[in-house]
Amino acid sequence: MVFSSLFFLYGFLPVCMLLYAITPGIRRKNVVLILFSFFFYAWGEPIWVVLLIFSATQDYICGRVIGKARRVGSDRLAKAALIFSITTNLTLLGVFKYLDFFLENLGLVFRYSPALPGLALPIGISFYTFQTLSYTIDVYRGKVGVQKSFSEFLLFVSIFSQLVAGPILRYAELETQLRDRPFTWEGCAAGVTRFCCGLGKKVLLANTAGEIASGLLDGRLDTLPAADALLGILMYTAQIYFDFSGYSDMAIGLGRMFGFHYGENFRHPYYAVSIGDFWRRWHISLGLFFRDYVYIPLGGNRKRVVLSLLITWFLTGLWHGASWNFALWGLYYFLWLCFERWVLRLLPERAAKIAPMVYTFPAVVLGWSLFYFTDIGRLGAFLQSLFGQNGLAGTETLSLWVGRLPLLVICAVAAGPWPKRLAERVLQNPAFYPVLPVCYNSLTLLLSTAYLAGQSYNPFLYFRF
């Protein structure tokens, strides 16, 4: 089930909200959320609920073991429980997500055709695996307390608002909220507005841009002119941002409806002033996870900096998918960050400050081509088209750009900070509240419903992660 579906909007969510609102007591409310989360997750793949419960159970037990080992002074037992948690989680993730990829490449090396198991990828496994891992690691480090309530821990792992697309939540963020959070209609209303903002991003902007990108990038590339290729990758640039940030907004809004407060996952990344700044704004929860649990333990800024960066960005790329193009995408950013860290500082101070503002957005757009094309051959053909091998423009290029330019302008404005600033300024006037949010939510929901009812194109890019 996805947030941007008519069943979710007009069936699942209203029933869940009604039962949650009328159920007394935080423990009973938690049970309502757990049951609805299981239903949400099982909607497409019922069998994988078992895997979700197993992952939550084993990390709950590991956390309890680590806590008990700390009390009796047995560091060896605590370390064994941590190693078991890390090994089990990464093994499950590796088997379901990377086994076919590993066997395929092994076959290429040794020149044989392996029998691939072809396991289906459980939805959201990359997200909830990282969440449970962060819990056991933080318990071992003494940064969070041991969760003694299994139901509260199960809710932390399974809550449907962020289960399939993040943001990746740390247990420390929700530790107190799991057992004590206020449910207010004001908070619920604010959550509805945030949800509708994300719904509009996903349905009205990401889906529209994605259809255009697919039409240009999924066809023949050996005849695609440079201007058409540029339009296609710009549309994909818009699609992936509004798709993922839209889902993050919906997740944050849903959490707010139930009294949770999640951290922001995007901060206008396309207006970053350097590649480093871009990654402090894009998928913030993932970047922080790799920083705290991979980069810093490897040595971080203290020692083996290049090696730490290389491993971190290689793994960041592969986290997004079992394909070499994702690994190349991660290494692409590794090279850019090395450039900014050691080469850019050799330039005069003014040039070193201005240059990143010039190259950052083009570099990000070019990077999305590595992300889009999982087939390396098609990636090469696209890059040749983009850099002019098939000519600069075709017979339909002008009409294509004229027809799609308004959407590009809307996306450019919507990706910036100005809509949020304008809304905050307007809402400071009591005359506009709550009338304006109600009108905005109603219009966004109406337009999104009309789009979903009339269109079959409604992909969710981050389901594959």
327 residue type, one letter? A
Secondary structure percentages of the chain, helix, strand, coil, to 5: 75, 0, 25
165 residue type, one letter? A
- Whole-angstrom distance, CA of residue 273 vs CA of residue 336: 13
Angle of CA points 208, 210, 231, to nearest 5°: 100
362 residue type, one letter? P
407, exposed or middle or buried, with CB in 10 Å at 0-12, 13-18, 19+?
middle
Angle of CA points 345, 281, 160, to nearest 5°: 155
- Whole-angstrom distance, CA of residue 291 vs CA of residue 361: 23
- Whole-angstrom distance, CA of residue 324 vs CA of residue 379: 11
- Whole-angstrom distance, CA of residue 212 vs CA of residue 352: 36
- Whole-angstrom distance, CA of residue 40 vs CA of residue 8: 9
User: Quick check: is 320 catalytic?
Assistant: yes
User: From the CA atom positions of the chain, what is the Rg in Å?
Assistant: 23
- Whole-angstrom distance, CA of residue 451 vs CA of residue 324: 35
- Whole-angstrom distance, CA of residue 44 vs CA of residue 46: 6
* Residue in 261, 268, 283, 320 annotated catalytic: 320
For the chain, what is the largest distance between any 2 Cα atoms, rounded to a whole number of angstroms? Answer: 77
- Contact predicate 171/147, CB 8 Å: yes
* Residues that are catalytic: 320
